Amino acid sequence: MATQSVLEAPIAPMDAAPGAADAAACNFRDPAFTANRDAPVHRWAPWIAGFSKQFVEDALDRHAPTHGVVLDPFAGVGTTLLEADLAGHEAVGFEINPYAAFACRTKLAAHRVDSPRLREAISAFAAFGETADSSGCEPQSAPPAGFRTRTPFYSPNVLRKMLLALDFIHTLDCPQTADLFKLAFASTMVQCSNYSYEPSLGRKATAGRPDVDDFPVFEAVAAKLSDMAGDAEWSRHARSRPERPDGRVFAQSFFEGYRSVPAQSVDLLVTSPPYLNNYHYNRNTRPQLYWLGFCESPRDLKRLESLNFGTYWQNARERDAVEVASPVADPEILEAVSEVRRKNPEKGVYGGNGWANYAAQYFNDCGRFIEGAKWCLRPGGTALVVIGNSILQGVDIPTDRFLAVIAERSGLNAVEIHSPRDARVGSSIVNARVPGSGRLYESVVELRA
């Protein structure tokens, strides 16, 4: 794919996403997270969003030929960090969701797992499950008091088994073994519930699927743990430069913590910030957050929402006009936000003003992200940002192009916009489309310090 400054190219029409004609020749493989589902260690924690290990491999091969520092400011469950660590780089990440940060740390420590000890614990867990199930004993654990759903999250049969599994986990005296059990428990807990990701967390019945009256909880968790034990053994052999310490994960906002990274020390930044699609990343991990004790009340979720990249439409729709901050106030961005704001005023909070507020805050946070990236990247360092476009109130928003514009205004060089996936399935934002509007796509914005 030819390289040109993205500011020299016109915005491509949305029915032919930027670079779509060259997608087959793109330098990166499809970044979709689904490719991780069978990959060792990556498969420990399913994640709705994120990107594939293959995409990170391509990024490392192309932009980090020698060992250096690799940063992911929005680490999720650690795809970038794990691949960088396995390849011998120093991996650094930020993640506001405490469950995701926990998954990151647990996966980065895979090479230190005592597999024989873990397998012994798995056998004891399976035996405990058989005895507890057949004896009809009552669990000592209780469901998290603050966790509420409109209909029961678990059927009575499944709830009893989940609580008994927690009883066993609470008896484990090895912290690392306990963490592995917690992650295996968390990774299977939605599967055996009356809820599912479609892609947001909602009732299975709403999606036309039956509730789960019963489920082999102990067998499912034990099978997950058995995979983890094998993956841990693989990790010890696959990890380059095994003398290095584990990668670091800061459980805080990149906006607040990027100065914890030494200035101009990062060789490669690979990340995917939340898209402009109103997807509630924290709310969709409510089961894991509550059941693992990372969250006790809705106030805890509100705090996480306040740290989120951008805001949510529900939090912005009743506010007066949110202004685009001067560092990111490019005429094209201002016009796009204004066009959204003019749409459907008769619909009140469901009209354009709230969506324009949502978009304005999003682009303001794009500016904050670029500020942090500039601090961290060494001269000549590269940032690869996976991002999807959006359609708000029928207005096409080329988010990739706008991010590149913001980067250029802040002093980074927008090298190229790659298009490994020229069509993607949208979430709730698709409902804001109108006939004749464009399609959703995904890009990799390449920036250079």
Pick from 144, 101, 96: nearest CA to 298: 144
State the average pLDDT over residues 101-114. 96
Instruction: Examine the pLDDT at 435 and tell me if it is beyond 50.
Output: no
CA neighbours within 13 Å on the CB side: how many for 377? 26
CA distance 40 to 212: 29
| The pLDDT of residue 30 | 61
Contacts of 123 (CB under 8 A, 6+ apart): none
Q: Is 191 exposed, middle or buried (0-12, 13-18, 19+ CB in 10 A)?
A: middle
**Dihedral of the CA atoms 129, 131, 132, 135 (nearest 10)?**
150
Token pair of 304 as six digits: 């996480």
Strand partners, 203: 195
Chain mean position to CA 184: 18
Contacts of 266 (CB under 8 A, 6+ apart): 68, 69, 70, 71, 92, 376, 377, 378, 381
pLDDT in tens, 260-316: 999 999 999 999 999 998 888 888 899 999 999 999 999 998 888 888 898 888 888
Which range, of 138-152, 230-244, 433-447, averages the lowest pLDDT?
433-447
Pick from 65, 73, 1: nearest CA to 371: 73
Looking at this protein, which amino acid is placed at residue 132? Answer: A
pLDDT in tens, 323-338: 999 989 999 999 999 9
Looking at this protein, which amino acid is placed at residue 146? Answer: G
Beta strands 201-203 and 390-392: pairing type? unpaired
Q: What percent of the chain has pLDDT over 90?
A: 72
Q: What are phi and psi of 236, to 5 degrees?
A: -60, -35
Q: What are phi and psi of 4, to 5 degrees?
A: -150, 155
User: What are the b/e assignments for 348-383, b being 16+ CB within 10 Å?
Assistant: eeebbbbbbbbbbbbbbbbbbbbebbbbbbbeebbb
Q: Is 423 exposed, middle or buried (0-12, 13-18, 19+ CB in 10 A)?
A: exposed
Sign of dihedral through CA atoms 290, 296, 302, 303? Answer: negative
CA distance 341 to 343: 6
Q: Tokens 């800061």 map to which residue?
A: 250
DSSP designation for 224: H
Beta strands 377-388 and 266-271: pairing type? parallel
Residue 420 pLDDT grade (very low, low, confident, very high; cuts 50, 70, 90): confident
Looking at this protein, which amino acid is placed at residue 367? Answer: G
Per the CB < 8 A criterion, the answer to whether 378 and 71 are in contact is no
| The pLDDT of residue 27 | 66
CA angle, residues 433, 440, 367, in degrees to nearest 5: 100
| The pLDDT of residue 397 | 95
Instruction: Examine the pLDDT at 13 and tell me if it is beyond 80.
Output: no
Sign of dihedral through CA atoms 114, 120, 126, 131? Answer: negative
* Domain coordinates in residue numbering, the chain: 6-98+247-283+311-448, 115-238
| The pLDDT of residue 410 | 96
Token pair of 27 as six digits: 């330098």
Instruction: Examine the pLDDT at 178 and tell me if it is beyond 60.
Output: yes
Beta strands 377-388 and 442-448: pairing type? antiparallel
Per the CB < 8 A criterion, the answer to whether 246 and 146 are in contact is no
Higher pLDDT, 194 or 436: 194
Instruction: Examine the pLDDT at 17 and tell me if it is beyond 50.
Output: no
Chain mean position to CA 170: 28
Q: Which CATH superfamily is domain 6-98+247-283+311-448 in?
A: Vaccinia Virus protein VP39 (3.40.50.150)
| The pLDDT of residue 422 | 67
DSSP designation for 77: T
Token pair of 330 as six digits: 């490019």
DSSP helix/strand/coil, 137: coil
Token pair of 274 as six digits: 């939340």
Contacts of 65 (CB under 8 A, 6+ apart): none
